[in-house]
Chain A
Amino acid sequence: MLPALRRCRPGSVPLPALAAALGPGPFPGLCPAWCPRALPARGRKTRHDPPAKSKAARVKLPPPVDPEELLVVLERYRQHRLVLSALRAEFRAEVLQKKQEERLAAEEEEELEEHRRLMAWNEEENGRQRARREERLRKQEEEERRKKLEIAEKQARKMEAFLEEKEKEVLQLQEEAKNFITLENLEARIEECLDNPRNYNFAIDKDGRIVKRTVLT
């Protein structure tokens, strides 16, 4: 505010050296707010005209940069951009929410009742399907359990039968083992066999009559 006022006052110009160069101008004694010739501007020449020979030795340097200030400025820019992006995200969310609300309001005006009715029917259907599915699942589970039990029982029975058979065989063997011929019985049994000769011979005729009396006895 105040610099603008100061610039409007006559006489005080930021570059007094140029005041004389500018000349009186439209308002003698009053200099304009900004000096247009302080910055480079194309006047006489176009951009395709070559530069003058007096400017051949001119070395254009970039503006000097203070590294501390640069770091400070970069940090400020980073924070500024962070805040800006957050603000933008917030505004975007606002706009989307408004659009959704508008859409919902528009839809409500048109097809409110039908939408609700259809949604309710859909819910009922879902409920029925759920009930059926649960029934089916329950039955399946029961079936599986029953089958498992059966199998287990069968297995148990099989094992029992097997064990019984094995026991029987063992007992039978034990019993037969009493009649076995061992090294100790050998002589006695031989004596016994020799003492009691058995005659296995027999005769049979075509009618099936067996005759056990033979020549040897």
Chain B
Amino acid sequence: AFSAGSRLLRGRGGHVVIRFALGGCTNRPFFRIVAANSRRPRDGRYLEQLGCLDPLPNAFGEKVAGLNLERLRYWLGCGAQLSRPAEKLLGLAGFLPLHPMTVTAAERLRRRRQREQQPEAAPADGSARPGTGT
């Protein structure tokens, strides 16, 4: 098992990555925030677990995540890369600046909601006024 694992790490390439490892059961995902070599499988051996994330909201409607900021700083100082969802999560947590796409997605959602409200308001006015006029 030891030699099979080190076959990945032979030769050049590979870097430390902080990403989500999926666990849990069917229809019940659970993510572990993990520092691992980029060439390992997603749920394979990792260097260190830096936190966890429950993507399903709990009884109070919250999605709970736990982070080990001390070790995160250490790994980032050692030169670890971040996956996109990990960046977004850390941005929302406040440890890193907000990811641009988080802000962009929020803006798009707001614009779409406004567009949906305006057609609802306009036909409502249009249908109300002829009703009152006649």
Contact = CB atoms under 8 A, between A and B. Distances in A.
Interface in B73-111: 73-74, 76-79, 96-101, 103-104
A8 B101 CA distance: 25
B48 to A, nearest CB: 14
Contacts of B116: none
Contact of A95 (B56, B78, B101, B104): B78
Interface string A73-98: 10011011001100110011111100
B104 A76 contact: yes
Contacts of B79: 88, 92
B76 A69 contact: no
Contacts of B61: 1-2, 4-5
A1 B57 contact: yes
B100 A69 contact: no
Contact of B63 (A1, A77, A95, A96): A1
A96 B103 CA distance: 34
Contacts, number: 50
A92 B77 CA distance: 4
Nearest to A84: B96
Contacts of B57: 1, 4-5, 8
A94 B73 contact: yes
Contacts of A93: 77
A38 to B, nearest CB: 16
Given A1-B63, A2-B61, A4-B61, A94 B97 contact: no
A69 B78 CA distance: 35
A92 B63 CA distance: 31
Contacts of B56: 4
Interface in A43-72: 69, 72
Contact of A4 (B63, B73, B100, B101): B63
Contacts of B62: 1
Nearest to A7: B57
A84 B77 contact: no
Contacts of A94: 73, 77
A127 B41 CA distance: 63
Given A2-B61, A4-B57, A5-B57, A80 B97 contact: yes
Nearest to B111: A69
Nearest to A66: B108
A88 B76 contact: yes
A76 B100 contact: yes
A13 to B, nearest CB: 16
B63 A73 contact: no
A88 B101 CA distance: 21
A79 B91 CA distance: 14
A73 B77 contact: no
Contacts of B104: 69, 72-73, 76
12 contacts: A1-B63, A4-B57, A8-B57, A69-B104, A72-B104, A76-B103, A84-B97, A88-B76, A88-B77, A92-B79, A94-B77, A96-B77
